[in-house]
A and B are shown apart, each in its own frame.
Chain A
Amino acid sequence: MIEKIVVLEVVLPLLAAPVCVLVRHPRLCRLLSLGVVAVCLAIAVAVLLEVRGGGVISYQLGGWPPPLGIEYRVSTVNAYLLALVTAMALVVFSFDSRGGPPRVPEPRRHLYYAVFLLCISGLLGIAITGDAFNIFVFLEISSLSSYILVSLGGHRRAVLSAFYYLVMGTIGGVFFMLGVGLLYQVTGTLNLRDIAARLEPSLDDRGTVLALALLVVGVSIKLAVFPLHHWLPNAYSFAPPKVSAFLAATATKVSFYLLAMILFTIFGAPFVFEELRLQAVLLPLSILAMFLASGAAIFQTDLRRLLAYSSVAQIGYMTLGLSTANVTGLAGGLVHLFNHAVMKGGLFLVVACLLYRVGSVHIDALAGIGRRMPLTAAALVIGGLSLIGVPGTVGFVSKWYLVSGVLERGWTAAAVLILLSSLLALVYVGKVVEAVYFRKPAETQPIDHVREAPLGMLAPAWVLAVAAVFFGLTTNWTYGVAREAAELLLAGGI
């Protein structure tokens, strides 16, 4: 049964978007998108349960068998991503932002939900499809809709940030398209598994190496790997807070999956990491991201910018897990996808609560807010502790396996650097916590009128905060699945 409806993961949100345009009623559209996302989550969880332990679901679109037709192929890796994206989408959608993004007037609000649904559809499509050009199409669907979502932020710089994001994203997309084209030239097929099988004899071909380079650079732009991250801090800090929470929790995660899939499934770990030695580039860049982006986060005065720079640093941890190319390290990187989504999504939802009540998330404006909004501030602290990697939170789990993976590889220095970079996280989280709890509010900005955030906002933020602790204590689900996914990727399957 489940293998017959797996395609609904993409189709439901894709078709709910035009329905929103026709309905033109904001509240109905919100309910519709919540319902669609909930159904998608249910399907994703069912699929994950089905494929765990090495199962594969293959769906032939239009009844055309692969490699000619487009195949949707779900294994543990994809199912993990599907569940992650839909779960985060559900939490973010249930967040009641009380009036939507600032620049969307009431009569146009239905379009906002339509764009949101398209973005989800694109992200799920990337995760589910087994066709190289199909990935490009879904990549552009999700990217185009995220440019729109970013541009809806209240400040005028939101539009400028969205424009930068668009320029960078389009360049990345075209690189990806060229890479797919070269692969097609070399292998004559677009089906991912077919490409992988036919690439074997022509791995030394110059076209193959060029394709790898183009694909990696293209996806790295979308993923915001360190020197290509410039668009991310602006986009995340000027987007509407709900959008930042959603994008931080899902978009970069799907790009990471794409990068891992390209390296391990298409080209294969032996070629990429033993012959070309990609880790010689990836490892230094990851470590630079961890230090420079965390360092930049320390000097930010706006909480959203601080979190955005912290995201760049966290992406560094993920790519570090990628560059180890062993099961423990890669599983650490993959489990960090979920863990980072939970904590960063939660933190951006906290930011949305603070913005709603305080009106600003400048660190100085948050002085003493811990007394006025105790629950919001507590969620902020849990998320912050998780960013540092305190035992008992999800952040610890990821770092534990990352360090194990790095040590397995014999990179002692890198392991030490991971621990050192956590100290930087301690500094920037400490700075926020200090302001929120221990600093007296400024005379010019009285906070007597500030009350606790409404339940509709607080509940989703706390769901993620509780998840950050829960999955920090029980790792069977998260790490168990991530390890299985890592084994599958290293074996070259999806």
Chain B
Amino acid sequence: MRPPSRVREMPILRVVARALVPVILLFGLYVQFHGDFGPGGGFQAGVIFAAGLIIFALTFGVEALRQAVPVVLTERLMAAGVLLYGAVGVLAMFLGGEFLNYSALDPLTTGHHGQHLGIIAIELGVGIAVAATIMRVYYAFVGRRPDGDGETREAALGAGPGEGTP
């Protein structure tokens, strides 16, 4: 899929996007990891991160983004993020605590160390899952062909872009 021609003729948009996207991604990471000390966390960070990448796709074309982040990867990351979250919970169970009891993660010290560890891992899982989901949703909608009659069932079901459809 080519970028829309009108956007390609807009150098300002391209230059600004090129400058902004890395900053947005960095801000996403900041929100992610600063969530330990102030407002922030996985949900917000994931959305910001995905939004940065979507701006990239809007300016330079979906194909460019698809090369950087393949559709299959987003699908895998969606699942991996949730599994990371669940794995922390189950790990706490194995270490003798309740499901998601972070204090059990660090049985040696009695302080809040385990809580820190747990919340960072969990929020990372949330962030990955949210970012991947938002991008997957974007791919699913943008990957449909614009002509109404040519809409394939595969695309509607989400098999869509990057997986065999020309």
Contact = CB atoms under 8 A, between A and B. Distances in A.
A7 interface: yes
B127 to A, nearest CB: 15
Contacts of A103: 153, 157
Interface in A403-442: none
B117 to A, nearest CB: 14
A201 interface: no
B99 interface: yes
A14 B89 CA distance: 12
29 contacts: A4-B93, A7-B99, A11-B99, A15-B82, A15-B83, A18-B78, A18-B79, A18-B80, A18-B83, A19-B79, A21-B75, A21-B78, A22-B76, A22-B83, A59-B99, A60-B98, A61-B98, A61-B100, A62-B101, A63-B97, A63-B98, A63-B103, A103-B157, A105-B154, A105-B157, A107-B163, A108-B157, A108-B158, A111-B158
Contacts of A17: 82
Interface in A1-54: 4, 7, 11, 14-15, 17-19, 21-22
Which residue among A14, A62, A105, A108 has the maximum number of chain B CB atoms within 10 Å of its CB? A62
A336 to B, nearest CB: 33
Contact of B89 (A11, A18, A19, A108): A11
Given A18-B82, A103-B157, 4 more contacts: A21-B75, A62-B98, A105-B157, A108-B159
Interface string B72-98: 000110111011001001100100011
B102 interface: yes
A14 B93 CA distance: 16
B104 interface: yes
Interface in A442-456: none
Contacts of A11: 86, 89-90, 99
A104 interface: yes
Per CB-CB distance, the 6 closest pairs between chain A and chain B, nearest first, are A18-B79, A63-B101, A21-B79, A15-B86, A62-B100, A18-B82
Nearest to A18: B79
Contacts of B163: 107
B83 A105 contact: no
A119 to B, nearest CB: 16
What's the dominant secondary structure at chain B's contact region?
helix
A16 to B, nearest CB: 10
Categorize the interface residue count of chain B: 20 to 34
B147 to A, nearest CB: 19
A288 to B, nearest CB: 39
Interface of A: 4, 7, 11, 14-15, 17-19, 21-22, 59-63, 103-105, 107-108, 111
Given A15-B90, A103-B153, A108-B157, A7 B78 contact: no
B98 A104 contact: no
Contacts, number: 59
Contact of B80 (A22, A59, A107): A22
Interface of B: 75-76, 78-80, 82-83, 86, 89-90, 93, 97-104, 153-154, 157-159, 163
B98 to A, nearest CB: 5
B159 A61 contact: no
B81 to A, nearest CB: 8
A18 B79 CA distance: 4
B41 to A, nearest CB: 16
A17 B79 CA distance: 8
Contacts of B98: 7, 59-63
Given A21-B75, A59-B98, A61-B100, A104 B157 contact: yes
B100 A107 contact: no
Contacts of A61: 98-100
A108 B76 CA distance: 14
A188 B129 CA distance: 32
Contacts of A18: 78-80, 82-83, 86
Contacts of B99: 7, 11, 59, 61-62
A105 B78 contact: no
Contacts of A7: 93, 98-99
Contacts of B153: 103, 105
Contacts of A14: 86
Contact of A107 (B82, B86, B103, B159): B159
B88 to A, nearest CB: 11
Nearest to B102: A62
Which residue among A4, A15, A60, A61 has the maximum number of chain B CB atoms within 10 Å of its CB? A15
Contact of A22 (B79, B154, B159): B79
A140 to B, nearest CB: 15
A459 B118 CA distance: 46
Contacts of B102: 62
A2 to B, nearest CB: 14
B87 to A, nearest CB: 8
A61 to B, nearest CB: 6
Contacts of A19: 79, 83
A47 B96 CA distance: 20
